[in-house]
């Protein structure tokens, strides 16, 4: 059975003098442990789709099922990571990474230790007592990753988490996030505008078409690329061929628009 299932999901936003159909008729399912990327031209409703899956926004019509249950509100099963770290500047890193546990009423000595261990695994052990503004962009995004993982969600929603970083940091963090997610056997959905990033991180890539967003095509990434960590995958001979393929599809969409 699918872990996450979207059935004919549509979302329309209303305002006083207009209505905006963000996404139309989206159906797909994700297996447990799968890594899915969603790409598409800007404004195609990628982030809306992620907000819907997170339960922060409810669909106008259609259903989203997580583990067989319909999503009505944010659940502890899902974790959300944003474009920028959005660490709370008035809290220390330790307080930041445990705020999810605290909010859920789950902050015990055991869970706190687990969060700190995670922080250590991501190389931030020495920074627990520091404040976000004392850390570099890459370190902050790693702390945000720990914050998301600390509550033990099964489904991770990543909303362009690398887009605000410099290229080198971005490549390193891709590897780190990839291996952390694989190690913890999490299911993940990544929204990105970077074709390369989508190709090297995921098992399947969903390409959305422009307003209203609907599924244009789904690419299944071959085993040989899936098995590699992102940095190695970027250097694989098959990478370029796939890149061209997705690129052409995206171009044809833009021409239509």
Partner 1 sequence: MKEKHKQLHQQYVNNLTKQKRYVRLTQCSMLLFFFVFWEVAAALKWIDPLLFSSPSRVWELLLTRIQDGSIVTHTSVTLSETVAGFLLGTALGTVMAGFLWWSPFLSKVLDPYLVVLNSMPKVALGPMLIVGLGPGFTSIIAMGALISIVITTLVVYNAFKEVDENYLKVIRSFGATKRQAFFSVVFPASYPSIISTLKVNVGLSWVGVIVGEFLVSKQGLGYLIVYGFQVFNFTLVMLALLVIAVLATIMYQFVELLEKKLIRRHHT
Q: Strand 204-208 to strand 35-39: parallel, antiparallel, or no bridges (unpaired)? A: parallel
User: Which single residue is written with the structure tokens 């220390």?
Assistant: 92
Secondary structure letter of residue 209 according to DSSP? P
Find out whether 141 and 172 touch, Cβ atoms under 8 Å. no
Q: Is 99 in the site for partner 1 (CB under 8 A)?
A: yes
Find out whether 48 and 60 touch, Cβ atoms under 8 Å. no
Q: Is 28 in the site for partner 1 (CB under 8 A)?
A: no
Q: What is the x/- site pattern for partner 1, positions 133-172, by CB under 8 A?
A: x-------------x---x---------------------
Closest CA to 247 of 182, 174, 177, 198: 198
Q: Is 13 in the site for partner 1 (CB under 8 A)?
A: no
Neighbours of 166 (CB within 10 A): 11
Q: Give me the least distance between CB of 17 and partner 1, in Å please.
A: 19
Complex with partner 1: residue 80 or 219, whichever CB lies closer: 80
Q: Is 16 in the site for partner 1 (CB under 8 A)?
A: no
Find out whether 229 and 179 touch, Cβ atoms under 8 Å. yes
Output the DSSP codes for 96-127. HHTHHHHHTT---HHHHHHHHHHHHHTT-GGG
Q: Is 121 in the site for partner 1 (CB under 8 A)?
A: no
Q: Is 25 in the site for partner 1 (CB under 8 A)?
A: no
User: Which range, of 17-25, 119-127, 129-137, 234-242, touches partner 1 by CB under 8 A?
Assistant: 129-137
Q: In DSSP terms, which residues pair with 206 in a beta bridge? A: 38, 218
Which of 25, 60, 75, 211 binds partner 1 (CB under 8 A)? It is 75
Which of 102, 120, 182, 184 binds partner 1 (CB under 8 A)? It is 102
- The token pair at 152 is 């033990």
Q: What is the x/- site pattern for partner 1, positions 179-208, by CB under 8 A?
A: ------------------------------
Binding site for partner 1 (CB under 8 A): 54, 56, 73-76, 78-80, 82, 84, 86, 88-90, 99-100, 102-104, 131-133, 147, 151
């Amino acid at each position: 059975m699918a872990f996450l299932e979207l059935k004919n999901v549509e979302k329309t936003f209303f305002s006083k003098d207009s209505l905006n159909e963000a996404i139309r008729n989206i159906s797909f399912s994700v297996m447990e442990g799968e890594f899915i990327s969603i790409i598409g031209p800007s404004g195609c409703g990628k982030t809306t789709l992620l907000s819907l899956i997170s339960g922060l926004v409810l669909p106008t019509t259609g259903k989203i099922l997580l583990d067989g249950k319909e999503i009505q509100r944010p659940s502890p099963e899902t974790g959300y990571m944003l474009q920028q770290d959005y660490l709370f500047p008035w809290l220390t890193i330790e307080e930041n990474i445990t705020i999810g546990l605290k909010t859920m009423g789950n902050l015990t000595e055991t869970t706190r230790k687990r969060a700190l261990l995670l922080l250590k695994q991501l190389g931030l052990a020495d920074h627990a007592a520091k404040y976000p503004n004392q850390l570099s962009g890459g370190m902050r995004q790693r702390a945000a990753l720990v914050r998301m993982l600390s509550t033990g969600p099964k489904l991770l929603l990543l909303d362009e988490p690398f887009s605000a970083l410099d290229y080198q940091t971005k490549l390193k963090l891709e590897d780190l996030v990839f291996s952390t997610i694989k190690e913890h056997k999490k299911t993940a959905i990544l929204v990105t505008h970077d074709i390369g990033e989508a190709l090297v991180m995921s098992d399947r890539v969903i390409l959305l078409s422009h307003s209203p967003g609907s599924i244009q095509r789904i690419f299944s990434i071959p085993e040989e690329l899936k098995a590699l960590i992102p940095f190695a995958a970027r250097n694989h001979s098959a990478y370029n061929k796939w890149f061209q393929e997705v690129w052409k599809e995206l171009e044809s969409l833009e021409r239509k628009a």
